[in-house]
Amino acid sequence: MMASFDEATDGFYHWLVSSARIEISPKIFVGDLRSVNQGRCVLASQDIGSDEVLFEIPRSSVLNVATSQLVRDFPQLKDVFWQELGHWEGLILCMVYEIKVMGQQSFWWNYLQVLPKSQDLNTLVYWSADQLAALEPSLVVGRLGADESQEMYRQILKYIQNFGPEFQSKIGQLTFEEFVHVASVIMSYSFDVDLKGEDDEDDEDEDEGEEEEGESNVAHDKYMKSMVPLADTLNADTKQFNAHLVYDKESLKMVSVKPIKMGQQVYNFYGEHPNAEILRRYGYVEWDGSQFDFGELPLSCITQVLQREAPEEFFQICLQLLQNDETILEHLDQEQIVLESYDCFIDGQVIPECLLLLQVLTVILQIPNVGENLERELQRVVKKCLQLVESGRLTIKCLKLFEHCIDERLRQYPNHSFREVTPIHQYVHDVDVQRGIMAQRVLQSEVESLQNCYLSLGEKFQVIDDVKLMDNILKKRVAPAQKTKNESKRKRTH
């Protein structure tokens, strides 16, 4: 029989103190904020000052490939988990083993009972096609990684088979639904825990040069993807966070980073993510917007606007040269400025790759008879425009092009994206309604970011007349030809 919410919380808290040996400050407690769609949380029972340890977790009570019963039962697999398996594959298999094989005998059983079930998760992998459609035109829908999930699932099934018949018989059949659930919980709740205190410095020279490019595992990366009981009970907020996790040699400590008043929630920080990414990874949104919100300007929007000025084929050639020409790449320190999309942040900042691309294309359009000299002209223009953008300057036409591109992008959003969303202040039983409101908040975050960049770019850069820049570029372009003409005259007069 499944325990009730309160029973599961009580069992979890008892396990934290008695079995996991986690030292918890009397100034905090595990609260219930389901009434406002925030589930379990950590609240302050007393005023808390800065730099106070809220709880301390022994590394032995953190669930990962070093502590799981799987590696204890199959010690011959330890090196495989440490040196061969990726972080995700390793932790997924360990959690599956604790849930399916160990069950109630698992050391982490009471902890596993408070992790969300599939029906409680709002991460985008659980959204229906109709629910995902409410997020259009946000590009976050294209980052669900469905193909990658299928490939990881197939890889894990191969590992199970390769680990031998005894391992297979214990694990049994791992369905795709079980895999997705565990992977989703890991995405929402795991931490990357540094291997502090590990005596591996002497091995660095031996391993150097032997690791394959792109290799990612515990031995290579010196951290373990881990489930950290109680630390993952904290909700997170990019603006209100007041605590963070500190890694010591023998333990992990949650430490306050600012004063917390009695009754206030203790918030962690999950990273510099916009609302769209918070929803994809963790299944919630920040109703007042993330501090790191941004909208995305797709390359397709830029090319669509530019096609009003010149044929599409011309710009496709330009983009190919910008991506592949060695001289251009040398100017750019081998960095690409042709990207699938460009981030436009809530504070009005635009990534420099976007502005440099627009400035280059603006200039190349103004060069007469570029024709067969396009490659050479682009090389010169990139160098000149790079100097311009790095000095904090843009031309009037570049700024206008940016504004037209933002206009084009904003027209793709539905009308409700431009209206303020009413936050969900009480539990919503209808999943479609709940997810629809969250989708609207994501779109509002993106629209606000794009609008802020539209309004403030001209204030963040010194805007100069195109004539001044073009005179400089065309002057250098014409000079060699003029010299050749004068030399010809001299030859004819002799």
Cβ-Cβ contacts under 8 Å for 450 (sequence gap 6 or more): 295, 297, 344, 406, 409, 410
> Into how many domains does the chain fold?
2
Residue 188 placed within a domain:
yes
Domain that holds residue 323: 294-412+453-485
Strand pairing class (235-236; 341-345) = unpaired
- 145 is a domain residue: yes
Q: Domain boundary at 262, 282, 302, which?
A: 282
Task: Answer yes or no: is 448 within a domain.
Answer: no
- From 253, 282, 311, the end of a domain falls on 282
In a shared domain, residues 269 and 376: no
Per residue in 344-369, is it b (16+ CB within 10 Å) or e — as a string? bbbebbbbebbbbbbbbbbbbbbbee
Q: Judge if 220 and 357 occupy the same domain.
A: no
Examine the domain organization and report whether 210 and 248 are in the same domain: yes
| Shared-domain flag, residues 156 and 114 | yes
Is residue 89 within 8 Å of residue 152, measured between CB atoms?
Answer: yes
Are the CB atoms for 334 and 430 separated by under 8 Å? no
CA gap 61, 228 in Å, rounded: 8
pLDDT in single tens digits along all 494 residues of the chain: 567 999 999 999 999 999 999 999 999 999 999 888 888 999 999 999 999 999 999 999 999 999 999 999 999 999 999 999 999 999 999 999 999 999 999 999 999 999 999 999 999 999 999 999 999 999 999 999 999 999 999 999 999 999 999 999 999 999 999 999 999 999 999 999 998 754 444 443 333 333 344 578 998 999 999 999 999 999 999 999 999 999 999 999 999 999 999 999 999 999 999 999 999 999 999 999 999 999 999 999 999 999 998 888 999 999 999 999 999 999 999 999 999 999 999 999 999 999 999 999 999 999 988 877 899 999 999 999 999 999 999 999 999 999 999 999 999 999 999 998 887 766 667 889 999 999 999 999 999 999 999 999 999 999 999 998 888 888 765 544 444 444 433 333 33
Q: Is residue 61 part of a domain?
A: yes
SS3 of the chain: helix, strand, coil, percent, to 5:
55, 15, 30
In this prediction the pTM is 0.89
Q: Give the residue from 258, 282, 306 where a domain finishes.
A: 282
pLDDT at 484: 43
The verdict on 49 and 121 lying in the same domain is yes
For residues 113 and 253, membership in a common domain is answered with: yes
Burial class (CB in 10 A: 0-12, 13-18, 19+), 290: buried
* One domain for residues 330 and 378: yes
Question: Are 160 and 214 found together in one domain?
Answer: yes
State the first-to-last Cα distance of the chain, in angstroms, to the nearest integer: 108
439 lies in some domain: no
Could you tell me if 106 and 205 lie in one domain? yes
